[in-house]
Amino acid sequence: MRMTIDTEQAWAAFDARDRTADGRFVVGVRTTGIYCRPSCPARRPRRENVAFYADGSQAQAAGLRACLRCRPDEAARDAVAVAEALAAIDQGVTGLDALAARAGYAPHHFHRLFKRATGSTPAAYARGHKAARAAQALTEERQVTEAIYEAGYSGPSRFYAAAAPRLGMPPSVWAKGGAGVTIRWSVVATSLGDLLVAATDKGLCRVSFDEDAAALAARFPHATIAQGGEALAALAAEVVAAVEAPGRAHALPLDLRGTAFQEAVWQALATIPPGETRTYAELAALAGRPAAVRAAGSACGANPLALVVPCHRAKRTDGTLGGYAYGLERKKALLERERG
């Protein structure tokens, strides 16, 4: 099936030398007879002299040759190498040397390539993936020790050193669905409606419009749900400021957990400058899985921390704003505030 390319978005990516678009399409320049990757450093041609192709083979079929400066065919190879590395990590392959060898790259070059594509190093990504598996296993397994080995750790000491800090609570408590953990909550008024702010001792675990303590209890059925009072007031005030001035930087403590891919998408969302947007395709590429466009959209929808993790800056691949869990009007309002 022939891939459809949004030429306006492709031109915008090419004009901005957007590295995240590399590997998604190539740019043909009729006047020079070459095709380039979107981030090619060469001077930009006139728009009417440019055509877009799904890959190098399509461009070659149109009579174009690869640019010797940006080497666009290597971008496609790089994208495949990263995708294969992600699959290998999912299967338990770890270690930079092993991943680089599978991809056919020198370790130092592959390390740089992987980090540029995913925003994290192979080791950091593998740790996140293993910790996510541990969280899932702790939910499913009856014994903590069984869950630790199921997740791929060589022993309990390795797990407690690497994964336990990411869970935000002891693993035995996680296995019981959060039993024994206290989540403090408050519903605060904002100009866009009432906002639920909830946090564990580690940090924010839920920020959402139009929810209350009952909704929080449904999400965390085994936790102790308590009103925040003064203990949560200062944190809630900072979150309210994120509604009223959503472009302002913050350093809020977070107790945020998801799959490795979800966390990669949430990290990508956090890099979007205030007032700007990125498509689900761009977020999927930033998260290291260019083909997982729908999964990137689902990760945005699963974001438990509205505003703090700015999923309102995500849009559909066709350029429209798409949906928003708390209403499209709120999404538009937040973006308008960020743009001044």
Of the candidates 272, 252, 270, the one whose C-alpha atom is nearest the C-alpha of residue 262 is 270
Q: How many CB atoms lie within 10 A of CB 87?
A: 12
36 included as an active-site residue? yes
Cα distance between residue 245 and residue 168, in whole Å: 29
262 φ/ψ angles, rounded to the nearest 5 degrees: -60, -45
67 included as an active-site residue? no
CB 171 within 8 A of CB 144: yes
Q: How far is CA 9 from the centre of its chain?
A: 20
For β-strands 182-188 and 34-36, DSSP reports them as unpaired
Token reading at 309:
């993790």
Q: How many CB atoms lie within 10 A of CB 15?
A: 12
Of the candidates 279, 289, 220, the one whose C-alpha atom is nearest the C-alpha of residue 259 is 289
In sequence order, what E strands does 182-334 have?
182-188, 195-199, 204-209, 224-227, 278-279, 314-315
Cα distance between residue 6 and residue 14, in whole Å: 12
Catalytic site residue from 40, 70, 300, 311? 311
Catalytic center residues: 36, 311
